[in-house]
Amino acid sequence: MTTSSSGLLALVRVRVLFAVCLVLTLSACGFHLRGSNGSFMLPFATMNIGLPDTSPLAIDLKRYIRAIGSTEIVDTREAADATLEVLADPEKTRTKSILSLNSNGRVREYQLGYSIQFRVVDKAGNVLLGLTTIALNRPIAFNESQVLAKETEEAQLYRDMRNDLVQQIMRRLAAIKPVLPAMSVAPVAPVTPVPVPVPAVRQ
C-alpha cells in the first residue's frame, strides 16, 4: 500500500470515528433523530396540548414543537387548529411492579410502566387521530444496599421513557391528514328537469 493510500485510509477512519462520537454525544444529551430530514413537520398552524402547564410531558412536547418552528402552541382549544386531548396522563398512571424475586423471596427486579391515551381533534370537532395508546416498559434491577443510586436510575428511566413518548407522539401527529371543515350550508336539493313543450307546427 502506498503512503498516499495509507493517509487516505487514516483520514476515513478519523471521520468515521468523529461521526460515531457525535452520534453518541447527541444521544447522551437526549437528542434523537426525528425522521429522514431530522424533523417532524406538523400539518397544523396552531395546536393546543391538553395537559397541565406543569406536566413534564407537556413541557417537553411544547419545547419540541416550538423548536420545529412551523406550529404555534396556543392556550385554548378554540384558537387551535388541532387539540391533543389526553385521556390518561402518564404522570398520573405510571406504574412500578415487581418483575422478579431472588431465591430469598426479595425483589430482584422491578418493571416501570409509562403510558398515555390520547386523540387529536380539530376546532370543528372532527377526529383527526382516533384514540391512541402508547405504553412503554423498562426493567430495573433492585439492590437494598444502593437505594439512593437506584432511585436516581429510576428517575432517569422515566425521563428516557418520556423522551421516547414525545418522539412517538410527534410521529403520529406528523402523519395526520387534516379533514376539510364541516359544511356550514346545507347542499341544494337536486332539481328534476322539466321538459320544454315544443310548439306544434302548422301545416
Q: What is the pLDDT of residue 9?
A: 52
Angle subtended at Cα 33 by Cα 88 and Cα 115, rounded to the nearest 5 degrees: 15
Q: What is the pLDDT of residues 97-133, one digit of tens each?
A: 999 998 888 999 999 999 999 999 998 888 999 999 9
Q: H helices of the chain, where?
A: 3-28, 56-68, 90-93, 147-174
140 three-class SS: strand
Q: What is the pLDDT of residues 30-46, one digit of tens each?
A: 333 344 445 678 888 99
Neighbouring C-beta atoms of residue 88, cutoff 10 Å = 11
Angle subtended at Cα 100 by Cα 98 and Cα 105, rounded to the nearest 5 degrees: 95
Q: Please, which pLDDT band fits residue 15 given cuts at 50, 70 and 90?
A: low
Q: What is the pLDDT of residue 185?
A: 33
pLDDT at 94 exceeding the cut of 50: yes
Helix-helix angle 56-68:147-174, to 10 degrees: 40
Alpha carbon distance 84, 93 (integer Å): 18
